[in-house]
Amino acid sequence: METEQPKPPHEGLKKGLYVIPTMFTAANVGMGFLAILSSMRGFQIALNDPVGASHYFNSAAIAIGLAILFDTLDGRVARMTRTATEIGVQFDSLADVLTFGIAPIALMYSWSFGLVFKEGTQEHALGVFLLFMYLMCGAFRLARFNLQATRPRVLLEGTPKLDKKNFVGLPIPPAAGLLASIVHFAPMPLSGYGEGTPRYLSFLMMILIAVLGVLMVSTLRYTSFKTFGSGRRNLYIFLLIAATGMAIWLYSEYVLLIISGIYVSHGVIWYVLSLLKPGQRTQTSEAEG
């Protein structure tokens, strides 16, 4: 008669650790779901009640911001507990398509294009096209990241090598975060700013969305912060995080917009500075060739 082998005392605990990153990813999905619902509700009442619509648009922007926090935590928890799995990577990417791809599109359309431009006009069609391209660029960016993460070797000649300290191209969460921070800064629907101003602001948003799409599919380097907090200066990092958290609590409209704007632009600034350095020009041209 065969007897069952006793299980190691920590085996059940180890299996339970795999659930924690998935819970953060599920929270990410939940925030994206709520952001879409809030955007739809805001669009529904924007013409009759702009002030009430601004509340829903702000809620959608906050939901996207919280989703960025959950998306950051699930990766860090998975690395800290060594519970990263292949299905977790795929689940996280699907969640990002919803929360940082579709949800910002719903928010931008409801807050800006759908209210300012009449359906059937060229401006309305251009806005819908740019939103679609933003989604496609974000999905391509996520697919490329998954490919580099699972197969870090160079697949084709000229493909950038995997660098844990930097991302290749603008990640989709900061792109969505910049759009959400703009709405959080000014949640009033653009249609409520008079007659000529809404069209001007909507065209500026079109330009920004197009730029974000290009940056996501580019090969510019963006800091990943994966090694952030792993050095000897943990005390200073803790103080910096505490100060940033308090600043966000007190002045979230300004601080979040500044942080997201700096992150989105720092990849472009690094690239321009590398071109200005004589020693970096050759390396840059070889990497792009």
At residue 30, the pLDDT reads 94
Domain ranges of the chain: 13-288
Sole residue written with tokens 């979230």: 252
Longest dimension (CA), the chain: 86
Which two structure tokens, joined as six digits, stand for 247? 């600043």
Give 10-residue mean pLDDT values along the chain (289 residues): 50 59 87 96 92 94 94 74 69 89 95 91 94 94 78 49 72 94 94 85 95 93 70 68 85 92 91 76 44
pTM score over 0.85? no
Q: Distance (Å, rounded) from C-alpha 95 to C-alpha 108?
A: 19
Q: Report how far apart the first and last C-alpha atoms of the chain are (Å, whole number).
A: 67
At residue 245, the pLDDT reads 84
CA 58 from chain centre, in angstroms, equals 17
Relative to beta strand 166-168, strand 221-223 is antiparallel
Q: Distance (Å, rounded) from C-alpha 178 to C-alpha 287?
A: 28
At residue 55, the pLDDT reads 95
Q: Distance (Å, rounded) from C-alpha 145 to C-alpha 216?
A: 11
In three-state secondary structure terms, 84 is: coil
Q: Distance (Å, rounded) from C-alpha 37 to C-alpha 98?
A: 12
Nearest to residue 213, comparing CAs of 152, 275, 133, 281? 133
At residue 224, the pLDDT reads 78
Count Cβ atoms below 10 Å from residue 62 Cβ, excluding itself: 20
Q: Distance (Å, rounded) from C-alpha 70 to C-alpha 48?
A: 34
Q: Distance (Å, rounded) from C-alpha 53 to C-alpha 202?
A: 17
At residue 10, the pLDDT reads 46
Helix, strand, coil abundance in the chain, percent, nearest 5: 75, 0, 20
At residue 153, the pLDDT reads 47
Asked if 237 contacts 140 with a C-beta cutoff of 8 angstroms, the reply is no
Which two structure tokens, joined as six digits, stand for 29? 């999905």
Count Cβ atoms below 10 Å from residue 26 Cβ, excluding itself: 15
